[in-house]
Amino acid sequence: MVSFSAAIGPDCSTLELRRLRHPSSLATLDVMYGIHPASLRDIPALIGLMAEFYAESGFPLPEANARAAFTRLLSDPGLGGAWIARDADEPVGHVVLTVCFSMEYGASRGFVDDLFVRPSARGRGIAGALIDAVVADCSARDVRALLVEVGPDNESGRRVYEKAGLVDTKHLLLARPLEPPLHVSASELKGL
């Protein structure tokens, strides 16, 4: 059994997660995981994590496209933000929040655009802590709802999101790509 204690910094921007018990032994550990808002200097680490995330789904990640997207997002806080989880100095996960206005809520709503934790760090509560950091930021921004897209076969992803309070709204998310996504070429887009 693993248990955690968490503390959110006074500015709601830093979350520290302390693992109290290692899952494979009875020894108590003093391991600190830090979750911090990403800045422009974190882009190389974010790209590395994103490349691993995309590779799990069999998608290549053009680094220049990812760099441009992170640069734009992190240069304009009105668009959202990103958080990076570190075990000591090693990046082990990230989450991306994008924000837009919603007529339904008469205010902004957020979208968890990416959430990834390296396989070696999974099962330790880091994904939930990353979502907690997003929720804290959303509260500070007066974001009224948080949404996420999850594949119908992604049971582990669904469990993480449901545990964080996100529920199936029974609404479909339909899309009409106007430009190719980062991992899809223009020729592949025609087949979508």
Q: Which residue has the higher pLDDT, 88 or 132?
A: 132
pLDDT tens for 8-41 read 554 444 555 444 344 444 444 445 689 999 999 9
Structure tokens at 168: 């199936």
The predicted model gives 126-135 an average pLDDT of 96
Q: What is the reported pLDDT for 151?
A: 86
**Contact indicator for 85, 126 with CB cutoff of 8 Å:** yes
Domains of the chain in start order, with CATH, are: 36-189 (3.40.630.30)
**Contact indicator for 92, 52 with CB cutoff of 8 Å:** no
Answer yes or no: is pLDDT of 110 > 90.
yes
- Please give the mean pLDDT across all residues of the chain: 84
Local confidence band at 168 (pLDDT 50, 70, 90 cut-offs): very high
The predicted model gives 47-60 an average pLDDT of 92
Q: Which residues contact 3 (CB under 8 A, 6 or more apart)?
A: 19, 20, 21
The pTM for the full model equals 0.81
Local confidence band at 99 (pLDDT 50, 70, 90 cut-offs): very high
Q: What is the reported pLDDT for 23?
A: 47
Q: Which residues contact 143 (CB under 8 A, 6 or more apart)?
A: 99, 107, 108, 109, 110, 137
Q: What are phi and psi of 164, to 5 degrees?
A: -85, 0
Q: What is the reported pLDDT for 188?
A: 57
